[in-house]
Amino acid sequence: MLFSWHHEFYAQFYPLLKLWLYALALVLFFGGWLAWKNDLNGTWCFRRGSALYWLQGHAVWHVLTMGALGCIYWFFRSEKISYS
């Protein structure tokens, strides 16, 4: 019995995994790590009167790692399963 998620004609147009999502996840995670380290060291500090006071390293760390986890999810979600 042949079981497939996609017709074999369309399988030639789709790669098995979208590797760009994995690369983007690594970049986002590294950026989040840098934001976290800069926030811990105190180099990512804005005074209360500055226009960028709302931009905090801890918040940037959360947003970037959330994006990395989303990319990892969609990376593994892009896998095509076929049984022959």
SS3 77: helix
Residue 52 structural domain: 19-83
For residue 14, tell me if it sits in a domain.
no
* Sequence-distant contacts of 29-37: CB under 8 A, at least 24 apart: 29/64, 29/65, 29/68, 31/64, 32/60, 32/61, 32/62, 32/63, 32/64, 32/65, 32/68, 33/61, 35/60, 35/61, 35/64, 36/61
Q: What is the structure's pLDDT at 51?
A: 77
For residue 79, tell me if it sits in a domain.
yes
For residue 5, tell me if it sits in a domain.
no
For residue 63, tell me if it sits in a domain.
yes
For residue 8, tell me if it sits in a domain.
no
For residue 58, tell me if it sits in a domain.
yes
- pTM of the shown model: 0.69
CB 71 within 8 A of CB 28: yes
Report the chain's mean pLDDT, rounded to a whole number. Answer: 79
pLDDT in tens, 17-47: 688 899 999 999 999 999 999 888 777 777 7
> How many domains does the chain divide into?
1
